[in-house]
Amino acid sequence: MSVTIYIPCDSGALALGAEKVARAVEREISARGIDAKIVRNGSRGLYFLEPMVEVATAQGRVAYGPVKAKDVAGLFDAGLAEGGSHRLSLGDPEKIPFLAKQTRLTFARCGITDPVSLNDYKALGGLTGLRAALAKTPSEIVQTVTDSGLRGRGGAGFPTGIKWKTVSEAKSDRKFVVCNADEGDSATFADRMIMEGDPFVLIEGMTIAGVATGATNGFVYIRSEYPHAIATMTRAVEVARAEGVLGPTVLGSPNAFDIEIRTGAGAYVCGEETSLLNSLEGKRGVVRAKPPLPALQGLFGKPTVVNNVISLASVPIILDKGPTYYRDFGMGRSRGTIPIQIAGNVKHGGLFEAAFGVTLGEIVDDIAGGTATGRPVKAVQVGGPLGAYFPRALFDTPFDYEAFAAKDGLIGHAGITVFDDTADMLKQARFAMEFCAIESCGKCTPCRIGSTRGVETLDRVAAGVEREKNLALVTDLCNTMKFGSLCALGGFTPYPVMSAINHFPDDFAPKPMAEAAE
Ligand SMILES: Cc1cc2nc3c(=O)[nH]c(=O)nc-3n(C[C@H](O)[C@H](O)[C@H](O)COP(=O)(O)O)c2cc1C
Ligand code: SF4
């Protein structure tokens, strides 16, 4: 009987040598005359174990990892084709604690099958959400999404159902669904993993958004740094179109919906929704003043749903299992699950989907296993480059939009970057200002000028020039940026800066002579 061997084609796994492993497996199969088929699956998100090779056996899947090309011959000697034991054996992948402890709703299929096989997708429950949606009226779909409590996973946490309702009720000859796949935040890769590992779930979610709002065209705006995601999404859209999921009659219904893939312009600010719309229209990626809201006047001035990849990819399961099923996970006003992306100085980096309510400490200490260097954790930046630095004293904060806001932080797109005790928080504060200065679209003064002045002022603090006075100036500047900026790039840069100053004052104090001279 033919054996199926799974080797990820996800960018993260490829960066760790998955392609060489695939070539080595091919060579061994042919040299040993083994009847085997290689399936290039997505990643399950256990990046500390990638490349993770899996074999389908009579007892279920057996995993090995992290596999290097040089390990492959030895793996076959040990009977990899039958799930034989080897020092890289991980057993049933679903039982690896990092995976077993997760609640996988949005990522339920990611990394299990061939990402562009629609048959695999359907075999694992794909398209049931869309079929359920097609049996409802648009307002019933919108109500279902509203009742689920789903909030935008791009950063702002705005209720998805309310946004859809606005677009649905807007009168227009054309409407659009735009998927924001710019994913510019540091430490984030959830959007990429879905697009490379389970692209049909995003296509299904966008199609449901189209049916619910009356939009007939969708665009996925993918950052140019994601060539594999662009290729996989492009292929998946072609397959969906050929199979009648997309096109003039979605799954044989009277609804028309089609999707185009667009490549981003390589600017962080192009992730901001109005800047993204300008970029999609072929204009410079500059932020637009709101109102008008994109929901009323978005792409080419037409009503537009702009949603993050994860928001849209969470919709099929909500339509499939019902809003209560989804809403029953989570805490407070943060319902469902959140894919936390663990990066930086950690033992176990990867994607951990959990119900809202898990604490930062559980993620950093238990799931991520502390730092890779073995040194104490000093700070964790939550929510990308505009997120606050959390000290250990705040590790009891649960993942919940309101709980993070109450601690002067944000969840953002749920990427976390862990730093050990060698991190210099003054340098990190300066980096935040510098990042803002580089990425600013230039439209408003607090951000365009303020960030440059912020870098200069923090440099004076570092040089020991009128330290107290300059720190007070940075605080004042942060207030101006926070309340005077047009968008969250300038408006949120104060979070990393002020959290570094407030939680790590020692790093802003005068340095002992010997250290300062280094
Ligand atoms: C500077 C800046 C960058 C942003 N980058 C992204 C991004 O890469 N991806 C994303 O989904 N949202 C990003 N956002 C948020 C979007 O403006 C918008 O809120 C989001 O796409 C709405 O989708 P959601 O409601 O599904 O979260 C960014 C916002 C700002 C201010
Ligand atoms: S805050 Fe910065 S990025 Fe946002 S509109 Fe103003 S200048 Fe542009």
Residue nearest to atom 4 of ligand 2 (CA): 487
- 278 pocket-lining for ligand 1 (C-beta < 6 Å): no
* Cis amide bond preceding 51, omega within 30: yes
Long-range contacts of 459-462 (CB under 8 A, 24+ apart): 459/430, 461/426, 461/508, 462/426, 462/427, 462/430
Give this prediction's pTM. 0.97
Q: Which of 273, 279, 447, 480 to mutate to test the pocket of ligand 2 (most atoms within 8 A of CB)?
A: 447
- The reported pLDDT for the residue numbered 515 is 53
- 447 pocket-lining for ligand 2 (C-beta < 6 Å): yes
- The reported pLDDT for the residue numbered 513 is 58
For the CA of 481, the closest atom of ligand 2 is: 1
Pick from 302, 292, 300, 301: nearest CA to 172: 302
Residue 238's contacts (CB-CB under 8 Å, 6 or more residues apart) are none
DSSP-H helix ranges across 149-254? 160-169, 190-197, 199-213, 227-242
Distance 148 CA to ligand 1 centre (A): 21
Long-range contacts of 122-129 (CB under 8 A, 24+ apart): 125/320, 126/200, 126/201, 126/204, 126/316, 127/200, 127/204, 127/245, 127/251, 127/316, 128/316, 128/320, 129/204, 129/205, 129/208, 129/315, 129/316, 129/317, 129/318, 129/319, 129/320
d(CA 456, CA 474): 10
Distance 164 CA to ligand 2 centre (A): 26
For the CA of 490, the closest atom of ligand 2 is: 1
d(CA 73, CA 57): 19
- The reported pLDDT for the residue numbered 1 is 74
Q: Work out the widest C-alpha separation in the chain, in whole angstroms.
A: 76
- The reported pLDDT for the residue numbered 421 is 98
- The reported pLDDT for the residue numbered 254 is 97
- 386 pocket-lining for ligand 2 (C-beta < 6 Å): no
- The reported pLDDT for the residue numbered 215 is 98
d(CA 57, CA 18): 21
d(CA 386, CA 316): 30
- 153 pocket-lining for ligand 1 (C-beta < 6 Å): yes
The ligand that comes nearest to the alpha carbon of residue 274 is: 1
For the CA of 448, the closest atom of ligand 2 is: 7
Mind listing the pLDDT tens digit of every residue in the chain (518 residues)? 799 999 999 999 999 999 999 999 999 999 999 999 999 999 999 999 999 999 999 999 999 999 999 999 999 999 999 999 999 999 999 999 999 999 999 999 999 999 999 999 999 999 999 999 999 999 999 999 999 999 999 999 999 999 999 999 999 999 999 999 999 999 999 999 999 999 999 999 999 999 999 999 999 999 999 999 999 999 999 999 999 999 999 999 999 999 999 999 789 999 999 999 999 999 999 999 999 999 999 999 999 999 999 999 999 999 999 999 999 999 999 999 999 999 999 999 999 999 999 999 999 999 999 999 999 999 999 999 999 999 999 999 999 999 999 999 999 999 999 999 999 999 999 999 999 999 999 999 999 999 999 999 999 999 999 999 999 999 999 999 999 999 999 999 999 999 999 999 999 998 765 555 55
Distance 263 CA to ligand 1 centre (A): 16
- The reported pLDDT for the residue numbered 274 is 98
Residue nearest to atom 8 of ligand 2 (CA): 441
